[in-house]
Amino acid sequence: MSSALSSEQGAARRRGKIASFFLDDHRYVLLGTSAVALVGMLLSSQPRPAMSFLAQAFTVELVMYYLLVAWLVVSAIGLAVKIAKWKTYDEVSPFTKPAVRRVLRYASYVIWAITLVLIVDRVVMGIASAWSVAVAAASQASPKRPDGMLESMCYILYQGRQTFLTGFITTVELAVFGTVIAFFLALLLVFARIQTIDRPDNDFVRFWKKVGVGFAKVYSTVVRGTPMMVQAMVLYYGVFGLFRMTSLTTTQINGIWTTFLAGLVTITLNSTAYMMEVLRGGIESVDAGQLEAARSLGLSQWQAMRKVVFPQGIKYAIPGLSNELVINIKDSSVLSVIGTFDLMFATTTVAGIYYQQFQTALITTVVYLALTMFASWLLGKFAHHFDVKPQPVGSSSDAGVAVGTEEVSAVPVRDGEKHRRGFGQGR
């Protein structure tokens, strides 16, 4: 215990004064829990929802409230002592004594528990109450949207559930199928991209290698240099126009070249270009000696790539590749421009019915966030399985792709680059 303390103090001396105050002896216990206590007090001062269970136990909540206040007072005293005895705080303050520290820690658990109870009472029960109000309003003979914000959102979600569900499923399908198909296309394309002229190649092989590399380069530049929304329109109306040249009627064409199919093709072709660059980055970050060693044994370029370089390169590429799924969940939203019935299209539909743009958008935000978080979590598990460090949620690092893709920055960035860097799925 004493050795732990002295190392803490040693660390304190190495840091700045302010930083050490926040990070060392008071770190979670006084300051952190004070923030928690404040949240609890704020919740306690909110009006009770209909389903609140603390409404029946007013005294209990009063005691809880004053416990939170007491914690803030203790913290304030701690802060005052620290400010008054800045230099000698470690020696003179009662707060640094082991016994007091232990008591404070246990007390902090109580504060956390109280706040948790208040969160359940106000937030969870609040949503539950609003939901029941909304459902009751919807099941009346002439449904009328309730007034409150939360009730209104619940009402919209309940009434538009079928629309939302259709959109949700379409979005998931677009993202999952699009990413999976794009992965295999990207594998093909990256093999074309990384071809180099080898000594034994005859002129025929050399020609096709050059064609392959050229095609991959042009494809990547064009696709990554134009917005996906525009790509969707060009593809949808372009192919539609091609079908018009046949004897098919418009209805028949709509049956074949559906907006879903057009959306899926768009997202696949778009993702292929990005995934190819990710794969190329992974392959190029494999030590050149691996290829040399394989070639020195007599393996052909293709054999060396397939058996030695590629299995290692794909490991480096896994974080960037899995990222692409999360990006596609979000970017499928632009496909609503051609009428693909995804979550975004469902949102505008529902919002149009109830004239409630903000509330509907907020619902959609929560759904997208839950979806991307779930996908991130799942992919993290997957990456762990391959012994690869997953990209941390909330970072905007380019680590997954940075290696060996200098050319990426030379091309205009993908549309909505800013929002791509949003929630931990930055590329």
Partner 1 sequence: MTTKNATEPMVRIEGLRKSFGSLEVLRDINLDVMPGQVVTIIGASGSGKSTLLRCINLLETPDAGHVWFHGSDLAAEHVDVNSLREKIGMVFQGFNLFNNMNVLDNCTLAPVTLKKMGKSEAEQVAMKHLDAVGLADFARASVSNLSGGQKQRVAIARALCMNPDLMLFDEPTSALDPEIVGEVLEVMRGLARDGMTMVVVTHEMQFAKTVSDRVVFMDKGVIAEEGTPAEIFGSPKHPRTREFLARYLED
- Cα(26)–Cα(289) distance, integer angstroms: 52
Q: How far is the CB of 292 from partner 1 (least distance, A)?
A: 6
- Asked if residue 314 lies in contact with residue 184, where contact means CB atoms within 8 angstroms, the answer is no
| C-beta closer to partner 1: residue 311 or 394 | 311
In 194-332, alpha helices (H): 203-224, 228-244, 250-256, 259-284, 288-296, 301-304, 310-331
Contacts for 396 with CB less than 8 Å, ≥ 6 apart: 421, 424, 426
Q: How far is the CB of 401 from partner 1 (least distance, A)?
A: 21
- Asked if residue 25 lies in contact with residue 79, where contact means CB atoms within 8 angstroms, the answer is no
How much of the chain is in helix, strand and coil states, percent to nearest 5? 80, 0, 20
| C-beta closer to partner 1: residue 250 or 303 | 303
Q: How far is the CB of 306 from partner 1 (least distance, A)?
A: 10
Q: How far is the CB of 119 from partner 1 (least distance, A)?
A: 47
| C-beta closer to partner 1: residue 45 or 202 | 202
- Cα(92)–Cα(23) distance, integer angstroms: 19
Question: Within its chain, how far is the Cα of 379 from the centroid?
Answer: 11
| C-beta closer to partner 1: residue 47 or 298 | 298
Q: How far is the CB of 15 from partner 1 (least distance, A)?
A: 36
Q: How far is the CB of 383 from partner 1 (least distance, A)?
A: 17
- H-helix or E-strand spanning residue 8: helix 2-14
282 HSE (CA, 13 A, CB side)? 26
Q: How far is the CB of 287 from partner 1 (least distance, A)?
A: 8
Other Cβ atoms closer than 10 A to 7: 10
| C-beta closer to partner 1: residue 90 or 201 | 201
- H-helix or E-strand spanning residue 139: none
| C-beta closer to partner 1: residue 255 or 311 | 311
Q: How far is the CB of 288 from partner 1 (least distance, A)?
A: 9
- Please name the residue that has the structure tokens 């190392």: 7
| C-beta closer to partner 1: residue 311 or 392 | 311
| C-beta closer to partner 1: residue 133 or 294 | 294
- Cα(168)–Cα(345) distance, integer angstroms: 10
Q: Which residues of the shown chain bind partner 1 in the complex (CB under 8 A)? A: 198-202, 287, 289-290, 292-300, 303, 307-308, 311-312
* 3-class secondary structure per residue, 54-94: HHHCHHHHHHHHHHHHHHHHHHHHHHHHHHHCCCCHHHHCH
